[in-house]
């Protein structure tokens, strides 16, 4: 390939990336289209949860309708302020693309178009992954290898596994592009790249406000690396001619400052971010304090003995006593300065921001997961109420099989990929220079990437959703194998493998790629909601048996689909799960597992005219389910949930309308209304063993003894 002209190399790279992008897009969409649960003609019950809410809005926009400023149907009776909830920019783009493109390609159902559109958008990440890996490892082959590993990893493809509309799926490519331009700006001191990084950061936050947590992690790790360098420089006072600092202040702090300004600008200009007070978020405080404190420390010079200073690193060995003292002082300075940074940033956020309480909840969640080794304890009262809900609804830990499946090849490569840059740097600096007091440190971009890979690898064990972030970082880090193969002379002789490093690196990369592809063989293409046919039956009954404006109280996982497919108002702002929503959910569960009178009062107060009972609401007692989340491991036979499930004839305020294998539909009777003795339809009295008490033992249901 070295004999190829430059333009031909670039053309081959572009063609390879286009093939990867197109292949991954086709794989995502085709596997869903081939799924027996997917219907090309009917979009009913295709989307669940928050995805269903987003699909409803996208479909409204595609039909030329405007989004309501206050959507009363979502979170009845208060409704949802759509401007404060989200920017809905990706839904608007999808609707505009559908209106513009479908006249040229023929009639296509909106949900089918959306599947291809979303698959293509989320797979755009192959381009910034290639660009970042090529920049960090200085070779196109490294970029191609990283893009191939990411495109073949289950963790990467899972970002759009099925007809979904998650803002994280669309925001990740732009987030990866932000990291690429920032790293390029730091290394090349090019202001225009820093401006591009700021622009990509602004757009990422518009699409996906939760990206602030990724930016916070990047800021924290970047500051930790920078302050580690600074602490060494403060105790060495490098003389002219000595080893230069890895990062100059102006080449690092300018991109960071522009990123902070971009986050502030997004928080001030985007209504959904204004509602979150994002202009004063944790990454803004962290980045701002980092720039100010780091810039100040670069101007400080400590009065140190002349013998501690580093000259050319090769003349005279520094006595161990001096190196040890200097190292100890360096560690102390590092601990103090970084602690000042963290405390100041948290204090500023708590003073003016609104993200501190969320940060505390996440810290509690992480501590609880570490305490229980990633497994939810059998007894629900061992966890805080908020921690229980966050753990079960937002941040489930990965199962062992799913953990391996998400990035099988990358898991194998990651330890070696992280170790190789450190081995190379230490060998290049040299043992004599190290003994003379020279610093052994990675370039900032490689150190940041290694830190992100290790951090996401650990955080992934706490939250399964972070598999895509680990797949990105590990895929880029795997480019170090290409660097090893092409620059073997910069490694110790023991690592040269008999002058066959290229064969070794190629074999490892191919094995990792094969492991990823083997894991994809069991990938179904879509996380199928359980028994879509049963949800279809429930949707039809709600359409035919309820009034068009009748609010429905349903479990959170069903509410979004019922709103999108029936148009009936629902009680939950599906997918929000902020503090207020968690409290409302616990209130609903508390009434459900209490007396019928309390459940009746709750439904009438919220205006619910119908109630959906899931078969697992009462019978599922394992961690993460409704009884566990509401801290009701034991229930009484007199509670409302028990009567709704096993004894509807004893209910005084609810009338059974429909019974299916998984769901029941009840009408909430008005005050003073008596339930008619005859069921409204034969479907209400249909027999299914899932609702029969004889099929459940008292031990399985964990019933309280009768008084």
Q: What percent of the chain has pLDDT over 90?
A: 39
Clarify whether residues 695 and 584 are in a common domain. yes
Clarify whether residues 339 and 469 are in a common domain. yes
pLDDT tens by residue, 97-117: 999 988 766 688 999 999 999
- Within a domain: 679: yes
Residue 166 pLDDT more than 70? yes
Clarify whether residues 461 and 602 are in a common domain. no
Clarify whether residues 588 and 489 are in a common domain. no
Clarify whether residues 297 and 340 are in a common domain. yes
Asked whether 595 and 638 are in contact (CB, 8 A), the reply is yes
* pLDDT score, position 654: 94
- Within a domain: 84: no
Q: Which of 492, 520, 548 is the last residue of a domain?
A: 520
Asked whether 465 and 401 are in contact (CB, 8 A), the reply is no
* pLDDT score, position 84: 86
pLDDT tens by residue, 187-217: 666 788 999 999 999 999 999 998 999 999 9
Q: Which of 697, 699, 655, 694 is nearest to 674 (CA)?
A: 655
- Within a domain: 248: yes
CATH of the domain at 643: 3.40.50.12610
240 C-beta neighbours (distance < 10 Å), count = 5
Q: Comparing 139-148, 387-396, 519-528, 533-542, which segment has the lowest mean pLDDT?
A: 519-528
Clarify whether residues 240 and 191 are in a common domain. yes
- Within a domain: 549: yes
Q: Which of 495, 520, 545 is the last residue of a domain?
A: 520
**Helices marked H in 34-165:** 49-62, 82-85, 89-105, 110-122, 126-137, 140-152, 154-157
Clarify whether residues 297 and 348 are in a common domain. yes
- Within a domain: 595: yes
- Within a domain: 420: yes
C-alpha to C-alpha distances, 269 to 87, 196, 265, 274, 599, nearest whole angstrom:
11, 18, 6, 7, 43
- Within a domain: 11: no
Transcribe 198-231 into DSSP letters. HHHHHHHHHH-GGGHHHHHHHHHHHHHHHHHHHH
Side-chain half-sphere exposure of 361, counting CA atoms within 13 A: 19
Look up the domain containing 539 and give its range.
Answer: 532-701
* pLDDT score, position 680: 64
Clarify whether residues 564 and 672 are in a common domain. yes
Clarify whether residues 308 and 275 are in a common domain. yes
**Omega before 46 within 30 of 0, i.e. cis:** no
- Mean pLDDT across the stretch 395-418? 82
Asked whether 153 and 516 are in contact (CB, 8 A), the reply is yes
Clarify whether residues 558 and 481 are in a common domain. no
Residue 161 pLDDT more than 60? no
Q: What is the CA radius of gyration of the chain?
A: 29
pLDDT tens by residue, 303-352: 666 655 554 443 344 454 556 666 777 788 888 888 999 999 999 888 87
* pLDDT score, position 575: 58
- Within a domain: 280: yes
Residue 553: phi and psi, rounded to 5, are: -95, 115
Q: Which of 520, 547, 581 is the last residue of a domain?
A: 520
Clarify whether residues 565 and 515 are in a common domain. no
Asked whether 572 and 62 are in contact (CB, 8 A), the reply is no
Asked whether 524 and 574 are in contact (CB, 8 A), the reply is no
Clarify whether residues 230 and 341 are in a common domain. yes
Transcribe 627-666 into DSSP letters. HHHTT-SSB-TTSHHHHHHH-GGG-SSEEEEEE-SSEEEE
Q: What is the mean pLDDT of the chain?
A: 83
What is the number of domains present in the chain?
A: 2
* pLDDT score, position 207: 93
């Amino acid at each position: 390939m070295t004999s190829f002209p430059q333009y031909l190399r670039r053309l081959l790279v572009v063609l390879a990336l286009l093939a990867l992008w197109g292949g991954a897009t086709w794989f995502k969409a085709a596997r869903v289209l081939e799924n027996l649960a997917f219907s090309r003609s009917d979009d009913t019950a295709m989307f669940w949860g928050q995805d269903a809410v987003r699909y409803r809005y996208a479909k409204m926009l595609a039909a030329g309708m405007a989004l309501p400023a206050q959507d009363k149907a979502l979170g009845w009776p208060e409704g949802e302020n759509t401007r404060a909830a989200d920017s809905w920019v990706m839904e608007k783009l999808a609707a505009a693309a559908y209106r513009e493109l479908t006249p040229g390609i023929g009639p296509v159902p909106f949900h089918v178009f959306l599947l291809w559109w979303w698959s293509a958008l989320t797979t755009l990440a192959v381009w910034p992954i290639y660009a970042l890996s090529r920049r960090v490892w200085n070779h196109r082959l490294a970029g191609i290898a990283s893009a191939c590993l990411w495109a073949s990893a289950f963790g990467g493809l899972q970002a759009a596994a099925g007809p979904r509309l998650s803002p994280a799926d669309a925001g990740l490519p732009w987030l990866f592009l932000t990291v690429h331009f920032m790293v390029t700006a730091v290394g090349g001191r090019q202001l225009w790249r820093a401006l591009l990084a700021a622009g990509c950061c602004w757009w990422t936050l518009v699409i996906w406000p939760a990206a602030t947590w990724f930016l916070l992690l990047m800021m924290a790790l970047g500051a930790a690396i920078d302050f580690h360098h600074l602490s060494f420089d403060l105790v060495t006072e490098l003389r002219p001619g000595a080893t230069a600092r890895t990062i100059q202040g102006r080449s690092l702090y300018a991109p960071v400052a522009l990123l902070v300004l971009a986050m502030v600008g997004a928080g001030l200009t985007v209504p959904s971010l204004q509602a979150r007070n994002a202009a004063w978020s944790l990454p803004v405080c962290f980045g701002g304090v980092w720039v100010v404190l780091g810039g100040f420390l670069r101007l400080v010079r400590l009065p140190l003995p002349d013998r501690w200073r580093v000259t050319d690193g090769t003349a005279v060995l520094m006595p161990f006593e001096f190196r040890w003292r200097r190292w100890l002082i360096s560690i102390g300075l590092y601990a103090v300065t970084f602690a000042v940074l963290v405390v100041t940033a948290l204090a500023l956020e708590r003073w003016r921001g609104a993200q501190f309480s969320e940060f505390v909840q996440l810290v509690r969640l992480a501590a609880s997961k570490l305490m229980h080794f990633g497994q939810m304890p059998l007894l629900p009262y061992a966890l805080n109420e908020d921690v229980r809900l966050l753990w079960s609804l937002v941040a489930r830990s990965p199962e062992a099989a799913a953990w391996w499946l998400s990035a099988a090849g990358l898991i194998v490569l990651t330890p070696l990929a992280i170790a190789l840059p450190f081995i190379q740097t230490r060998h290049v600096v040299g043992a004599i220079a190290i003994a003379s007091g020279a610093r052994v440190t990675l370039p900032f971009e490689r150190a940041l990437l290694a830190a992100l890979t290790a951090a996401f690898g650990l955080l992934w064990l706490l939250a399964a959703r972070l598999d895509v972030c680990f797949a990105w970082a590990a895929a880029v880090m795997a480019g170090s194998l290409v660097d090893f193969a092409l620059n073997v002379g910069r490694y110790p002789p023991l690592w040269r493998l008999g002058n066959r490093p290229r064969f070794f690196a190629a074999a490892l990369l191919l094995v990792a790629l094969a492991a990823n592809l083997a894991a994809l063989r069991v990938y179904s293409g879509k996380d199928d909601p359980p028994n879509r046919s049963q949800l279809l039956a429930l949707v039809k009954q709600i359409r035919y048996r309820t009034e068009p404006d009748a609010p429905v109280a349903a479990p959170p996982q069903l509410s979004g689909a019922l709103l999108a497919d029936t148009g009936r108002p629902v009680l939950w702002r599906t997918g929000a799960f902020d503090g207020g929503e968690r409290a409302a959910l616990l209130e609903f569960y508390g009434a459900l597992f209490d007396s019928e009178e309390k459940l009746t009062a709750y439904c009438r107060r919220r205006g619910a005219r119908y109630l959906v009972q899931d078969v697992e609401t009462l019978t599922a007692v394992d961690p993460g389910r409704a009884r566990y989340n509401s801290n009701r491991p034991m229930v009484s036979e007199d509670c409302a949930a028990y009567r709704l499930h096993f004894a509807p004839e004893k209910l005084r305020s609810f009338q059974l309308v429909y019974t299916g294998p998984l769901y029941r539909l009840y009408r909430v009777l008005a005050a003073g209304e008596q339930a008619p003795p005859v069921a409204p339809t034969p479907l209400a009295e249909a027999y299914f063993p899932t609702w029969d008490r004889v099929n459940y033992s008292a031990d399985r249901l964990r019933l309280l003894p009768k008084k």
